Each structure stands twice: as C-alpha cells, then as structure tokens.
Structure 1
C-alpha cells in the first residue's frame, strides 16, 4: 500500500471517503475519466455491508428500481441519478466479470456463489481505473482552503474534490457511524434527522404478553404505515414484536406514535369465507374457522384481538363481516422500532435539497459531494439501496 507519509499531503484530483458500494463506484467512474483518485476507509476489511447482504450472496440490485421505490423529503432528487445509471448497467459489469447471478422474487438479483464476487469485481475495476485504495485510514481532520485536506492515520491527501460515502449508523457492529452527518454539519450542510429503517417493530409489554406464544409464526400479510404503499410479503412474529419483509418495508415510513395497519388475510374475502363456513358447520368456533386459512395459533390470537367470541352460529352475518373487516385492517400499534442495532439502512440523512441532483455536489460548498446511504434517500428492501449506491456513486464520479 503506497500511502502518503505522515506530515505531508499528497496531491490528487479526488479523495473518496468510504470503501462501500457508493464509494467504490464513485472512485471507479472518476478514475475512468483520467482523474487521480484515492479511496479511503477506516476499516482494514472493506465492503462489510456488501459481504453480509442477501444472506452472504449480495442482493446487488433490483430490476424494478425506480424513483417510486425510495423514501425522501425530496422524492424527485433521485430521479436523475437513477435514470442515468440503471440496474442493467450494473448487471453489465457483473456479467463482464463472469459472476453468476439469479433473479429471486420481486425482481431481486443475487450472486449465485458469494457476495465476495462483487467485492472482488469492485477491487478489480478500481485497479483498472488507476484508483488507490487505502484501508485502516481513520480520519483525524478535514480542512478546506483552496483544496480539501484530509488527514488520516495512514497519510494525508489534498484534492479539489471530496466525495463522502461513509454511509449511516445502521449496524454499528460492522463499524457504521454518523460520520457523514458530522462532516455535513461542519460544512453547514443541513441534515434531515436520521432514523432506523428496514427494521422490525416493537410491541408494548402488554401486547408482548398477548402475542408471546406467536414468536416464530409467519404468514403472508400486507402492511401499511401512514403515507406508505401497501406492502404484501411475509410477516413474522418475534419475541419483541413484528418483523418479516412486509413489516421492514413499512418501517421506513412509520413515525413514533403512528398506527401500523396489517391485513392478515390479504387477497381473500374473509367475510364470505366465514359466512359460508357458518352454513356448513355452524357449531365451529369462530377462532377455529379462522384457522382454516391461517396458522391456528395466529387465528386464536386474532380472534382475541377482534373480540370474535363463540361459534359461527352465535354470530350474525353483520358480526362476521365486522370480524373480517377488523382482521383485514388490524392496527397493531407498535411502540417503536428495533433501532440501529439491526436496521438494514438509515432513513433521513444529508438533506438532498442542498445538493445538485446531477453531480451530488453541495451547491454552497463547491467540490464537496455526498453519495449513498448518508443521503436522505432510502430504498425499499430488495436491492434498491444498492442500486442507489451505484447510481449516486456513478453520478458523482462522472462529474469529476
């Protein structure tokens, strides 16, 4: 590793902070344009989020990725970058490196072998573009005079362009932090309050007591927070609350104190099913009848939650319709989210209203760019956040 010597600063065209998905892409694209680039990371082992994603196979993009799949206080900001670097563009790089991949549900693309294939590909592309990677480089200070000056434990660099790709505080055990937000504040760039996203919901102690026996029970549901799309995927009860893809998706939109609406019988006419069951087996308990299409433990829990007592014969058709309507739109009233410890990404972040959407450059601080997860652009579960990393990184790198 040819790091700069302590006490002096090496001049380059571009310094990129953060050797994750976005940082690699920015460094590669800048290098392709003949710029001298140094890519710095505080960790000795780079790409940990890539390595652990998709169960170790890296859900590296989603063929359906578009602006509608992202959450931001300025939802139009992501349009330009996503239009100029599409999923097929990244897939072309994957195929150039002969990485085997496959498509899972809902347009999700995964490595067939290992996420390490993506990391090796990025390393190869960086080397081919002439970029220098320096690991274990903790940033000690950053100044700006005519150029940015970056002082680290592995050397110092001076450059007219600084690209910040240090991510957010989700999954701190792999070294994630809010460094980008601190740096933004230092340069007067506003930050939308960060919050955990794509993370499970927590129940109150009272609800945990009622639902405790359901831990591990999974079923297809739809989940919706106020203002969010309706997400239809699996829901999973845990010892602490609700998880599963549908719930993780809704968590990116949910705010403290808001309701969470869950349909435990999506796509079914539950009222018609109960009324039909009443005519064929009127002595059956309502809870038992609900179990015809649901895990029995879950059916019993739902019957309790919606006050569905007695047998089908005891209930009028109007009562059965009430029970069905309640189960189709049950307000679970979570008390919070699991938080940064297991959140897959951060929502909020560097306010994109301060940035140019073509280049990711801060309009008030020429030469300073923010990309990737540290921005107030959060993708859905299923490869969308990687696509934003590639697209925003490409936008910044191509603007050098």
Structure 2
C-alpha cells in the first residue's frame, strides 16, 4: 500500500464524535482520515434541536446516562466536560442561549457547530471523504488496519468507529459499526429505538388524533422512573419531551401513568370545588386547569354519566375516583415510532470490552469506539452530544 493512502488514524463516521475526534487528533500532529458513507458530513448535527443544535447541557452528570455499567461514562465525562466544550463554542464566537433544564442551543443555526468542527479538522489538516462505502476491514500486525472502500484502499495504525446507531435511517444510519465490532470479537447489547414517541392502537389513538397539536405539562411514569415535562398529542400517539425521556426506560407491554395536574392534590381540589361551586359542572371547573378539548375527552372516559350533573349532586366517591384517574391515567402504548424518528439508539457495543479512559477495544489493539455506537445513551437535552464530545476527546488523546 502506498504511503499516500496510509494514515495514523482512520475515523469511520463524520458525525459529532467522529469530526471532533478527527480535529483533536489532527491537531496533535497525527495524519487523520475521516470516511463517511453519506453525501455530506454532520447531517444529524444540522437537524438536531430543530436546526439549532442542543450541543450540551449545563448540568451533566453520569446519572443522565443509561449504560449497562453505569460507572463506565464517568471517566470520559470528567476528562472532557461541558465547560470545556462551551469554552470552544465561545472561542468561535458562536452565539447561544440557555433554555429550560440547562439546555444550550445555538442562537442562529446548527451549522455554526458543524462549521466549528470542520474548522477544527482543517486546523488538524484532516482529510475527509464522503460517499464512501467500506467493503472490507482487516488487520495485519505490521500494517495495522486495511480498509477496502469504494474510493480505494486505505490503511492506518488506529481505527476509530464513530458510525453512530440505527436511528433516523434517512440520515444514512446503518448497523455498520455494530458489524465491525462483532468482526473484532465484541459483544453487543440489545439495540432499541430511544428518545422516541409512543404509538397506540386502542382508544387512545383516537383521542391523540383529535387532540393533535395540544401540549400539556404532565408527570409521566413507568416502573420506577418518572419525568415532568410537556406531553404532545399527535396523529400517531404521544410525543413531546416527557415522552421521549420516558421512552428510554419503557419496556414493551408495560403501562405508563400520566398525572395531568402534577402540582395539585386533585381529590382535595375537586371536593373543594364541590363545596365552593355547588352548581357548576365538573368540566367547566377543570377547564380552568386543562384545555377544554382535553377535558371533553376526559369526561367521556371518566365521568360520562355525570357530564351534566352539578358538582353538589356528584357523590364524593365518584369525585375521588375521577381524581385518581386524572392523577394516574393508565395508558398502554402499543409500541414506539421506532428508528424512523428515534433520536438515539439504546444499547450497542458492550462497554465491558472497552477502556473507559481511552475508548480503546480490549480485544483488538488500535481499535476504538466512540459516540452513539457504544452502549451509552443520554437523556434528552444535550447529553448525547456531550457524550459524543467526551468519548471523542478520550480516544483522541490515545490514538
């Protein structure tokens, strides 16, 4: 193989983690090549955060991540934290703002973050090739890794897999990184769509369709996990931040529980209304707290026979049952929208077989896995980008 096609490191995947790792490694003086199957790098960055890129969060902790080994993300997250990335963003004079829960977004466009990563790559004289299909990857001790691709053959001492997960296949997502991991003896944890809307096949589907576009601040729970945020009714089911968060913890077939008035003792509220507003209708009183269209649906579900009954005439036991239903509305999703709309992929390369300090394979010297392909998944709110930056940084120091 000619030296022209030989590199110190080849990075598979031109997303957030791949580009960041490439720029850092290049600036350390390494000869770096990024290969991406898509027609342009950074597509997922550009669409993230509604085009504004929620690039990190002010309140990153290991508790914001799901991983079979919850200790694994700690080393990388502490060696490159959110403040270091914010400093880089500020160095490039990218205007940004904080939204709720410490989420940081670009003021203008996600392009600012992509352009920054590309500028970092340029500083490191990184070569980037797009529309590249990798046919075979092999390893020989003297040459390192050999890649036969649609753009020719390349070799490198180190190989970094930053190919992402299975989410949003229209952005070019494939299972290539997982296949490569298995080729080199790595085990995979089961992969499922994460940060994804719920779908329904029962009467809730009709309710969601009729309420499509309505957002409500609720507490949503499953098993031992609950989140407080907006739920969004859609034509297909339930979405919104609280649903995306909970989807990472939901198991198929399990119930979810919605508290429609999380700041209220609903039973006490209704009994108080009964004494203070004896002649009023329950739907009119609840419409002070919830959208009328939602209250109409709830009335059909929970108190149809008392729809036109004055509060004074509704038995206390009935009001208490209504309160229970409003504070713990039991819903059973039929599934999720799947990888088509999922923001992340849960599961992936087993972290027991990687160094938490360097992201290096314990099975194959010179092989690294970073970003979403690894079994580390963050909550909604910039945490997955911070994992991309942190894992990329960890690998880049040891290539």
TM-score (norm 2): 0.94
- 8 Å CA contact 2:184–2:363 kept in 1: the answer is no
SS at match of 1:234: strand
Q: Which residue of the other structure, out of 285, 307, 310, is the alignment partner of 1:289?
A: 285
Counterpart for residue 332 of structure 1: 331
Contact 1:286 1:308 survives alignment (8 Å)? no
Map of 1:16 onto structure 2:
11
- Partner SS, residue 359 of structure 1: coil
What RMSD, in angstroms, separates the aligned Cα atoms of the two structures? 1.7
Question: Partners in 2 of 1:315 and 1:68 — Cα distance?
Answer: 46
The 3-state SS of whatever aligns with 1:365 is coil
Alignment size in residue pairs: 394
Q: 1:365, 1:307 → 2: CA distance?
A: 63
C-alpha distance in 2 between matches for 1:368 and 1:34: 19
SS at match of 1:195: strand
Whole-Å Cα distance in 1 between the matches of residues 51 and 215 of structure 2? 23
The equivalent position to 2:129 in structure 1, one of 134, 139, 162, is 134
After superposition, give the CA deviation of every residue in 1:108-160 in whole Å (9 maximum; x if it has no partner). Answer: 11111111111111111111123221222211110111111112122322112
Distance 1:193 1:306 in 2: 39
Structure 1 residue 103 and structure 2 residue 98: aligned? yes
The 3-state SS of whatever aligns with 2:84 is helix
* Correspondences of 1:229-308 after superposition (within 5 Å): 230-307=226-303
CA 1:365–1:306: 2 relative to 1, 3 Å: farther
Cross-structure match for 1:317: 316
Please say if residues 57 and 382 of structure 2, whose CA atoms lie closer than 8 Å, have aligned partners that are also in contact: yes
Give the CA deviation at 1:85: 0.8
Partner of residue 74, structure 1: 69
Work out the CA distance in 2 between the residues paired with 1:197 and 1:59: 17
* Structure 2 unaligned residues grouped into runs of 5+: none
Q: Within the alignment, does 1:87 sit opposite 2:79 as a pair?
A: no
What per-residue deviation string (whole Å, max 9, x for no partner) do you get for residues 300-351 of structure 1? 2223333464132233334323321221121111110011111111111111
Note if 1:184 corresponds to 2:153.
no
- Please state whether the residue corresponding to 1:137 is helix, strand or coil: coil
Greater Cα shift, 125-134 or 194-203 = 125-134
Shift of 1:209: 3.1
Q: Determine the C-alpha separation between the residues in 1 that align with 2:352 and 2:312.
A: 60
Unaligned runs of 5+ in 1: none
Classify the secondary structure of the residue corresponding to 1:13: strand
- Residues 200-211 of structure 1: matches in 2 within 5 Å? 200-211=197-208
Q: Is the 8 A contact 1:60 1:387 kept in 2?
A: yes
3-state SS of the aligned residue for 2:26? helix
2:350 corresponds to which residue? 351
Provide closer, same or farther for how the CA distance between residues 278 and 189 of structure 1 changes in structure 2, counting only shifts above 3 A: same
CA offsets, 1:253-310, max 9 Å, x none?
Answer: 1110111111111111222221121112223333333222001121122233334641
Tell me the TM-score normalised to structure 1 length.
0.94
Q: CA deviation at 1:210?
A: 4.4
- Displacement of 1:392 in angstroms is 0.6
Q: Give the SS at the match of 2:60.
A: coil
Q: For 2:208 and 2:133, how far apart are their aligned partners in 1?
A: 45
SS in 1 for 2:166: coil
